[in-house]
A = this chain, B = another copy of it.
Amino acid sequence: MKKEMAAVRALTFDVFGTVVDWRGSVINAGQALKNASARKVDWAKFADRWRMEGYRDAIARANREGPAWTRVDDLHLRKLRELVGDFGLADLSDAQILELNRVWHRLTPWPDSVAGLQRLRKRLIVSTLSNGDVALLTNMAKHSGLPWDCILSAELVGNYKPMPVVYRKAAEWLGLQPSQVMMVAAHTGDLAAARKEGFQTALVKRPLEYGDVAKADLIAEPWMDVVAEDMNDLADKLGC
């Protein structure tokens, strides 16, 4: 292990895509609906539009246009109401729509996530560092058995990743120097932003996050401190 890596005391994890499979979970939730209209929907297309337009684009806009915070739960709901129209889901009740929006509180972990986190937390502090709301992350952990030591969220800062202040405040709240914290994500942009604030970085490859391997961030950049195939591999590489 490199000397710098031995100094790591806490890991901060991106959650959507890195720890949990949002796409598979949304597809499953859609396919489980009993409504007549739901049977005609391409749920993979639905999931991709929900994520890309409802979350990614909304957050990029908020970060571009200046300090703005809307709970990710509310961003999801806004886009969901639009998609219900676009995909002809007219027979969904309002209660069903609100319930479907809660799927983001119950996303399924990748098969290695819980076991890998259990290993990592024996020696290191494991925390979320997600744009998801505190409540969403807490509910998800409880639902899926994700053994976090601490729930840190961009909501606590009032700015979304990759704004620098989110990483800075996380290190401060963990009571550590940024160099003692390692950001873990399946997304190069998140890692690059954390690195600018002095964090160490670990890429965890998630080739299936977007259903299409070509869309995943799988390239090991020379500045990354660790590149791991999954959470167990990360535990191996960090000596846990």
Residues of chain A having any CB pair with chain B under 8 Å: 71, 73, 121, 125, 127, 133-136, 138-139, 141-142, 149-152, 155-156, 173-176
Contacts and interface: CB of A to CB of B under 8 A. Distances in A.
Contact of A155 (B125, B134, B141, B173): B173
A139 B142 CA distance: 20
A142 B125 contact: yes
Given A138-B149, A150-B151, 11 more contacts: A71-B175, A121-B142, A125-B142, A133-B173, A134-B150, A134-B173, A134-B175, A135-B176, A138-B174, A141-B149, A142-B149
How many copies of this chain does the complex contain? 2
18 contacts: A71-B175, A121-B142, A125-B138, A125-B142, A127-B138, A133-B173, A133-B175, A134-B150, A134-B174, A134-B175, A135-B173, A135-B174, A135-B175, A136-B175, A138-B149, A138-B174, A149-B151, A150-B151
